[in-house]
Amino acid sequence: MSLPHAILTALLEKPSSGLELTRRFDRSIGYFWSATHQQIYRELGRLERDGLIRALPSARTARGQKKEYEVLPAGRDELARWTAASQDPKPLRDTLLLRLRAAAVVGTDGIQDDLRRHLTLHKAQLAEYEEIERRDFPPGRDTMEDRLRHVVLRAGIDLETFWTQWLTRTLEELDGAG
């Protein structure tokens, strides 16, 4: 039950149409909560039906025509409630770790190339996050919003740092004589 709240957050930051939301989910928000346009349209329908958002009066209703949404007070309340509510951390689910565990049984043939590929991808993602940090969070600004958005970005940076370091060490472990 997180996608509706991701959409409410995005719409509070800026009222948008479904396609605009899709684009934002491909960038900033999607860095920690991805969604396809099909999911987004389905969820926008539900949120509107439930009275948490509404289409802007200017929005046309016909298929193929842009339709912008904004958050209603009930939607903001629901988002505040959800944000403050206690939630347990979800257990990790990672395919690469599972594949390494499988490789301990069926052999490592072919997996190392993919580890190297992942390392390249994570390095690229890390560079992208660091670029965003340089651009959007220069030292000095200090509103609470800035700080919150910055710690979220820091999580992304630290996670990508973890993956690059772990992949590097793991490749040494598999390649090297040990």
Pure H helices in 31-141: 37-49, 73-84, 95-106, 111-136
In the bound complex, what is the minimum distance in angstroms from residue 154's beta carbon to a copy of itself?
7
- Asked if residue 165 binds DNA (CB under 7 A), the reply is no
Among 85, 87, 89, 93, binds DNA (CB under 7 A): 93
Tokens representing residue 166 in the block:
């772990």
- Amino acid symbol at 13: E
- Asked if residue 41 binds a copy of itself (CB under 8 A), the reply is no
65 binds, among DNA, a copy of itself, none (CB under 5 to 8 A by kind): DNA
- Asked if residue 2 binds a copy of itself (CB under 8 A), the reply is yes
Type and span of the H or E element at 54: strand 53-55
- Asked if residue 148 binds a copy of itself (CB under 8 A), the reply is yes
- Asked if residue 121 binds a copy of itself (CB under 8 A), the reply is yes
- Asked if residue 36 binds a copy of itself (CB under 8 A), the reply is no
Stretch 101-120: interaction string toward a copy of itself, x if CB under 8 A: xxxxxxxxxxx-xx--xx--
Q: How many residues bind a copy of itself (CB under 8 A)?
A: 74
Tokens representing residue 151 in the block:
């710690």
Q: How far is CA 88 from its chain centroid? A: 18
Enumerate residues 22-81 that contact DNA by CB under 7 A: 34-39, 41-42, 44-45, 62-68
**SS3 of residue 27 by DSSP:** coil
| Neighbour-count burial for 99-132, b at 16+ CB within 10 Å, e otherwise | eeeeeeeeeeeebeeebeebbeebbebbeebeeb
Residues engaged in binding DNA (CB under 7 A)? 1-3, 17-20, 34-39, 41-42, 44-45, 62-68, 90, 93
